[in-house]
Amino acid sequence: MRGLRLRGVFALMIAAILAVTIAACGGGGSSTTSSTSASGNSDNLIVSNPTNGKVAITVGSKNFTEEYILGEIYAQGLEAAGYNVKKKLNLGSEQIALKAIQDGQISGYPEYTSTALGSLFSVPADQIPANAQEAYAQAKTKLAKEGVEAFPPTPFADSNAVGTLTSTAEKDNLTDISDLKGISQNMTLAGSPECRERIDCLVGLEKNYGLTFKKFIPVDIGLRYTVLDKGDADLSILFTSDAQLANSKKYTILKDDKELIPSGNVIFLASKKVADEAGPDFRDTIEKVQGNLTLPVIQELNSEVDIDKKEPAAVAHNYLVQSGYIK
């Protein structure tokens, strides 16, 4: 009897915890409709080239939503071009991914310009250009010395950004980060713990923009929207391609008008040797499939995976079909 009661209590506790967790997780999203912007265009269609079938390509990615989607987009595009494509979409850090290219375990993977320069080459954040093309040129030169070819950047940039509730932005008339001057001393800023010492985060906001904040609140990046929703912080460090920003007017990103935050466009990195041997279709396909990846599109794709819980492969396939790259 006692054993039975105990089990009942446990079942209740677990049910309660689950219910609470699900309720907490479900709060974020609102959008379910798909709205990839570009319309199908037959000129975009990737043509399969039978000679590519002899070339084996392994597409890698790091292990989070946006990377999974990008890895799938490149892999499925190359497959459509006739390549013999395998996938390794679970590499840990950029150091591991770069090593995997150099060891020949993968042919290439998508990386962010800011991460490539900052993490792979230890370029201080204040010396990484906020301009996408300048950052790309710098990364391309450095990577070429490692035997790695960097492809041109995607239209979208996944950068850190200062965000706030749209209601706050409207109340205080905020569009640029500079607009915070004069009111930021009454505002709290939430960011990852290391934001406090980062030149492209709190330190830069204080030194380059001349802002002071009432308080800096360190939080896990998983709570970056929760702190705004709960009113625990007035400002929060967000990522520009976040799923939560798709089709939503709830949050506002303040424009980095002093170009403090490094460019976070994606560049596909591939082994120079593999890229040369794979023939012209390889380069053409990679540049083509990323052509429609604007910020609203990647936000939508991220939200389809993170919020609607669809598979990255299916989301990537839809994107390629709707853009007219594959049928």
Partner 1 sequence: MILLASIIDSFTGAFDFILHSRQAVGSGHADVPVGGIPFIWTFARTQLEVSAIALGGALAVGMPIGLILGHIGKGEYFAVGFGNAGRAVPEIAVVFLLAALIGIGLGNVALALGILGLPPILTNTFVAIRQVDPTAVQAAEGMGMRPWQVILRVELPLAAPTIMTGIRTAAINIFATATIASFVGLSTLGDLVTGTNVYGTDGVVAGAIVIAVLAGSIEAALAGVQRLVTPRGLKLQRAARSA
Binding residues vs partner 1 (CB under 8 A): 2, 6, 10, 13, 17, 20-21, 24, 118, 122, 124-127, 190, 193-194, 196-199, 203-204, 207, 216-220, 222-223, 226-227, 230-232
Is the Cβ–Cβ distance between 107 and 59 less than 8 Å?
yes
Q: How far is the CB of 161 from partner 1 (least distance, A)?
A: 18
Q: Hey, how many other C-beta atoms are within 10 angstroms of the C-beta on 296? A: 15
Q: Is the dihedral angle over the CA atoms 101, 106, 108, 113 positive or is it negative?
A: negative
- Three-state DSSP state, 224: coil
Q: How far is the CB of 217 from partner 1 (least distance, A)?
A: 5
User: Is the CB of 146 or the CB of 229 nearer to partner 1?
Assistant: 229
User: Is the CB of 225 or the CB of 319 nearer to partner 1?
Assistant: 225
What would you measure as the largest C-alpha separation in the chain, in angstroms? Answer: 74
**Contact residues for 202 (Cβ-Cβ < 8 A; gap 6+):** 189, 191, 195, 196, 213, 216
Q: How far is the CB of 123 from partner 1 (least distance, A)?
A: 8
User: Is the CB of 165 or the CB of 301 nearer to partner 1?
Assistant: 165
Is the Cβ–Cβ distance between 95 and 225 less than 8 Å?
no
Can you name the residues that pair with 271 across neighbouring β-strands? 148
Q: How far is the CB of 127 from partner 1 (least distance, A)?
A: 6
Report the distance separating Cα 56 and Cα 108, nearest Å.
12
Q: How far is the CB of 188 from partner 1 (least distance, A)?
A: 10
User: Is the CB of 82 or the CB of 118 nearer to partner 1?
Assistant: 118
Structure tokens at 37: 């912007």
Q: How far is the CB of 264 from partner 1 (least distance, A)?
A: 15
Report the distance separating Cα 164 and Cα 169, nearest Å.
7
User: Is the CB of 217 or the CB of 267 nearer to partner 1?
Assistant: 217
Report the distance separating Cα 244 and Cα 242, nearest Å.
5
CA nearest neighbour of 69 among 310, 277, 322, 280? 310
User: Is the CB of 20 or the CB of 183 nearer to partner 1?
Assistant: 20
User: Is the CB of 19 or the CB of 144 nearer to partner 1?
Assistant: 19
Is the Cβ–Cβ distance between 303 and 246 less than 8 Å?
yes
Is the Cβ–Cβ distance between 200 and 160 less than 8 Å?
yes
Q: How far is the CB of 323 from partner 1 (least distance, A)?
A: 35
User: Is the CB of 181 or the CB of 207 nearer to partner 1?
Assistant: 207
**Contact residues for 305 (Cβ-Cβ < 8 A; gap 6+):** 65, 68, 69, 243, 311, 312, 315
Q: How far is the CB of 252 from partner 1 (least distance, A)?
A: 21
